[in-house]
């Protein structure tokens, strides 16, 4: 089945630790995106990539890093510099104008 897979679904992190969220797609989409959603809030753009080996900062990139070494994969690292990392993280990909989402990773800092 074609789609976007995010893992893990739930993730717990201790303060001061880096953690990497996985996003894989087999839709052959060029563009991929990472968003963060806080309770009662909309989606805010963290990073995006229009093509392999290239990515751009979104609106809230501080404390995050990404890589795009393969078309299928766009992992997001939440670093210890991110002051308030507890949130719902959504990865999306698009071809043309339609965007499709993975099921999300719920990150909690303990």
Give residues in contact with other proteins (CB under 8 A): 31, 33, 35, 40-45, 48, 50, 58, 88, 90, 92, 94, 96-104, 106
When the beta carbons of 11 and 80 are compared against other proteins, the nearer one is: 11
**Cβ-count burial 60-92 (b if 16+ within 10 Å, e if not):** ebeebbbebeebbebbbebeeebeebebebbbb
Least Å distance between CB 21 and other proteins? 14
When the beta carbons of 31 and 80 are compared against other proteins, the nearer one is: 31
Q: Angle 11-24-100 (CA atoms, 0-180°, nearest 5)?
A: 95
Least Å distance between CB 61 and other proteins? 13
Least Å distance between CB 43 and other proteins? 4
Least Å distance between CB 74 and other proteins? 14
Token pair, residue 67, equals 């890589």
Token pair, residue 19, equals 């953690």
């Amino acid at each position: 089945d074609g789609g976007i897979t995010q893992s893990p679904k739930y993730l717990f992190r201790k303060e001061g630790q880096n953690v990497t969220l996985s996003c894989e797609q087999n839709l052959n989409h060029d563009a991929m995106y990472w968003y963060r959603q806080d309770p009662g809030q909309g989606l805010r753009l963290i990073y995006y990539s229009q093509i392999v080996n290239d990515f751009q900062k979104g609106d809230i990139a501080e404390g995050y890093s990404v890589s795009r070494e393969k078309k299928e994969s766009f992992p997001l690292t939440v670093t210890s510099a991110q002051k308030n990392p507890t949130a719902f993280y959504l990865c999306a990909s698009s071809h043309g104008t339609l965007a499709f989402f993975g099921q999300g990773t719920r990150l909690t800092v303990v």
